[in-house]
Amino acid sequence: MTSRTTNMSLLAAVLSLSAIGLVAIPAAERGDVPLSVVEPTTSREVARFSESWALVIGNSAYRAPGYGPLPGVADDVQAVAEALRQAGFGVEVKTDLAKADLSPAIDGFIDRHGLVDSARLLIYYAGHGESRTRSDSKRVGYLIPVDCPSPGKDAQGFKQKALAMDQIEVLAKRIEARHALFVMDSCFAGTIFKVRANADRIPPAISDRLAKPVRQFLTAGDDGQTVPDQSIFRRYFVRGIAGEADVNHDGWVTATELATFVHDHVTDDSHGTQTPRDGKIQDVALNEGEFVFKVGTPVAFEASPSSASAHKAATTGAAVLSKPAWATSMGKDGYGIWADLTLGGEVQRMRLIKAGTFTMGSPQSEKEAAIAAGAKPEWVAPEVEHKVTLTQDFWLGDSEVTQGFWSSVIGGYPSRFTGDSQRPVEQVSWDDGQGLLKKINDLLRSDGLMSSGEFSFPTEAQWEYACRAGTTTAFSFGATITPEQVNYDGSGPYGGAAEGLNRSETMKVKSLPANAWGLHDMHGNVWEWCSDWHGDYPPSAVTAPIGPATGTVRVYRGGGWNFGAWCNRAANRGFGAPGERHDGLGLRLCAPVLAGP
């Protein structure tokens, strides 16, 4: 497994360092929205910040001897940047910094955002780190640029290019913003901050003391530990700032609450091999305050969509959509509104799909193209075009259910393709899926998080509506597909496309592009069970169809890794007995908008 080699407490220091890489800031990511921190019981303002800025550094494409690439960093950067935007920060992202780029980037970030007293800064770093003992016997940590060799391969080159953590303290003190939090998902050693005692776990209250200056640090592990490239730390950092770390339920997540939340979950998930650390700088003038995040506010939406652009508009309108009781966090991004279902430490993001009308099935020209690509006429004949109106909004998983999520709820791994918990679960029957749904609903009900509505499979109509995402072509990506868009058997192209890659296995979910509504792998990877019995479509327009009342086989949709392109079309209909299992058959979660107490 690829890992972010080295040791860790210095990590936080490194983070501040990484904090200074940057890119141009789109207008939508401005961080000059004021934040008022209010004492919950009296509604008295105890602090006000005029600006909130974050720098997210991701070093992945290492090219010097001794340090391997870190492909997982790209996902981390995207997830952390989006989470910080949702938390009210203007976000700058910088990736793959060499030695020559790192220092100017750091200085520039501080100059632009770190010299305002009423500002708050957050710096997040993901990449390799290193620890070594210098000639003065001091154990020192280093941030590793992408062009820096390891000390074992080129000791002189390492000394010239690695950035020592001693300099992090200098940078932290140069910042004049009142609050700064340095987060490091890497490995280091060092002592620039005083590690908080594990026994000191009482979350600080929102009070006047919070407003005092502070430089806080949170690292992914301790000295001598190894951080995996598939970051557990990032997952819990994102969940924590979204609200799960608000242990005293006062509407605020302090850095201390966040650190406790991350420490406990990462330590547990890693079976004690990774133990995050946190603390404050060893300077009395900069260690009495407390960095804080505001727990998210309600999200807005309006009208029903009939296209991708209308759907996006409908999820950013004026009326208020309350966070579902089952959701651990909720927010908006470029695709629309999302809410996270979290069970057993695994997160399934659900996307809000607004009700609307669409044409279900395929035109004759598409059927003919499918036949030309290898389909038999009787296989595509059931795709009768008809108008469908869905009257109720619903939530749909942005990915197929992963093996990790399945295991966290049911236990065990039934799949053929293993080695990564983020692959889709497969070799699950319709009946097996009903067992998962029952367990999810029972767990939520027992916790008081659902008393009306339930998680289910989507209906066949809901599935095709969401897959199309406002399009009318054979695929949500257009008239044909490529292996860069969909995981399918590329030796079976469609619609004039060239032959392409056949991966011959499933891929980690969300590895390939989403459709216009933020849903990944609606085409390919694995087939997905629907709730309906299979039957003939009605000859005319219908409203909210749920399929035949009885039957012998259930519907599944979407195609899979081992099928040609024609089988992965939005209109294609698969079916099987409720007990059928194979290595290309999985599932996706659905829930009504009103699911909750």
Phi, psi of 310 (to 5 degrees): -65, -40
Which pLDDT does position 310 carry in this prediction?
44
Which pLDDT does position 478 carry in this prediction?
93
Burial of 415 (0-12, 13-18, 19+ CB in 10 A): buried
Q: Are 266 and 233 in contact (CB under 8 A)?
A: yes
Which pLDDT does position 311 carry in this prediction?
52
**What number of other Cβ atoms are within 10 A of residue 99's Cβ?**
17
Which pLDDT does position 595 carry in this prediction?
44
Give the domain 361-592 fold: paralog of FGE (formylglycine-generating enzyme) (3.90.1580)
* Domain range 3-294, CATH class: alpha beta
User: Which DSSP letter does residue 27 get?
Assistant: G
Give me the residue label for tokens 């000295």.
Answer: 223
- Domain residue spans in the chain? 3-294, 361-592
Which pLDDT does position 5 carry in this prediction?
53
**What number of other Cβ atoms are within 10 A of residue 116's Cβ?**
18
Which pLDDT does position 591 carry in this prediction?
96
Which pLDDT does position 596 carry in this prediction?
41
Which pLDDT does position 300 carry in this prediction?
42
> Which pLDDT tens digit goes with each residue over 173-220?
999 999 999 998 886 655 566 666 554 545 566 677 788 999 999 989
Name the residue among 388, 399, 543, 393 with its Cα closest to residue 464. Answer: 388
Residues with pLDDT less than 50, the chain = 1, 6-29, 199, 201, 297-310, 312-319, 595-597
Which pLDDT does position 319 carry in this prediction?
44
Mean pLDDT for the chain overall: 85
Which pLDDT does position 214 carry in this prediction?
94
N- to C-terminal Cα separation, the chain: 43
